[in-house]
Structure 1
């Protein structure tokens, strides 16, 4: 859901201030919870440890009567020195670093941030553990833009640069189905119909 940084399109990863949901974000969490309750398919909830996701997961859990499990692997990218900055501010302050980051998933943001390649390894490891733990169950993952795009990219077998070709809205729903043979299929991406 939306935080105070979302409308300004500021980098807000796991290396920053860990903002909670804004008033709009809390309303979005309630709308997501109502939508998921109406579908009636969620059997478990796993969330990023960051506050905004925990608040969203708690809203859904309260509606569904489920417990919430925290998975560190679902946290957002650490954007290093870019935390709290807009893309334009990063372009002004760190133009060469930004160009390198946009050109290679192995390049980390300025100041010790996390590369998208590192995020992909972390997210894939969490995915594999979650698939083993919750085999045959429908699990809600409450996470962030980069982990969702990464799960989508991996399900599609798409290259790392595809991360820059997907748009995700705050409090949107995406769905990936995983099969026993190791294959996956994208079922839904960036659905915001519950927010209207």
Structure 2
């Protein structure tokens, strides 16, 4: 379902075929059709206040021939990726993740911003199901719930409470468009 290619500074999740992807990624957010979801590794020092990350990312994607991908950024080493796949009741799903927690927060309780802390959790999930847009929104919600539960289960305590994620997490969910489930 997802073929992983590490081509530094890019981590590429190649989908088996073009799929409808829903995300709030900084590049090609919303509902888009693509066969790739990519990560761009950045250095914290690159992300100074006032830096136009979205324009920079769009230009870097174009130069790399990845302009049709959905794209996320992370200061996490993209070589630390993890891919897991499961089948439940005949339905297959896969998740490619990079996890950085230097930017961890407890939802609703912001910590002071620090320029050296841009860690993030980025997930690309692909399901072999034909989903309506409404069903895809619900599936994305379930992915975010699972991410939050996993972070909370890790028990990372902050001054503001138990970590629930980071301030810059991003999730992209790919499926086949349809009237099913």
* TM-score normalised according to structure 2 size: 0.29
* TM-score normalised according to structure 1 size: 0.28
Q: Which has the higher strand share?
A: 2
